[in-house]
Structure 1
Amino acid sequence: MSFESEALISNVKRQAKRLSKKLLLPLGHAQEGIAICLYDCNSYSDLLVKIKAESFDNPLIALSALSPNSEIFLVKILASHLDSIIGNFEKKFPGSNINEELVISLFGLSFDEFKAKISD
């Protein structure tokens, strides 16, 4: 995955579409959810500004590059923040049964692929 801002934004849009489908949410709600819960930003527009600024002060912004063929360090960033990300989603979308598998699937990864990559 490229670290060019347009490629990262496209990836974030795919993540929001996946969340929208999985939780049956309007796309705008999914976009806000991704920004707040996954990337620890104040809003979707805040996330886009941070990506375009190419400032990776927040290590979670690097997850905008995570996809099935990504470098292992991105998978490890996700693994190290997974519990807090799930907690954020549970607060934002109570009762939605968000778990590890759902969060990992937002990046186009299967749970088995994820487990294999972090065990290497």
Structure 2
Amino acid sequence: MSFESEALISNVKRQAKRLSKKLSLPLGQAQEGVSICLYGCDSYSDLLVKIKAESFDNPLIALSALSPNSEIFLVKILASHLDSIIGNFEKKFPGSNINEEMVVSLFGLNIEEFNVKVSSQ
């Protein structure tokens, strides 16, 4: 995955669409959810500003580049923050039963691929 801002924004849009389908949410609500829960941003517009500014002081912003063919370091960033991300989703969408597999799937990965990549190296 490229680290060019347009490619990262496209990836975030795909993540929001996946969340929208999984939780039957309007797309705007899913975009806010992804921004707050995955990336620790205040809003979707805040996330877009940070991506366009190439402001990677928040390591979670790098997850905007995570996709099935990504470098292993991105998978490891997700793995190291997975518990807090799930907690963020539980706070924002109580009762939605968001789990590790669902979060991983937002990036286009299946849980088996994810676990293999996390345990490698």
Matches within 5 A, 1:22-101: 22-101=22-101
Please give the per-residue CA displacement for 1:63-118, whole angstroms capped at 9, x wherever unaligned: 00000000000000000000000000000000000000000000000000000000
Query: How far, CA to CA, are the matches of 2:94 and 2:74 in structure 1?
Result: 27
TM-score by length of 1: 1.00
Secondary structure of 1:8's match? helix
Aligned counterparts of 1:12 and 1:51: Cα–Cα separation in 2: 10
> What is the Cα-based RMSD across aligned positions, in Å?
0.2
Partner of 2:3: 3
Aligned length: 120
Give aligned-pair identity as a percent: 88
Segments of 5+ residues of structure 2 without an aligned counterpart are: none
Aligned equivalents of 1:11 and 1:49: distance in 2? 15
Which segments of 5 or more consecutive residues in structure 1 lack a partner in the other structure? none
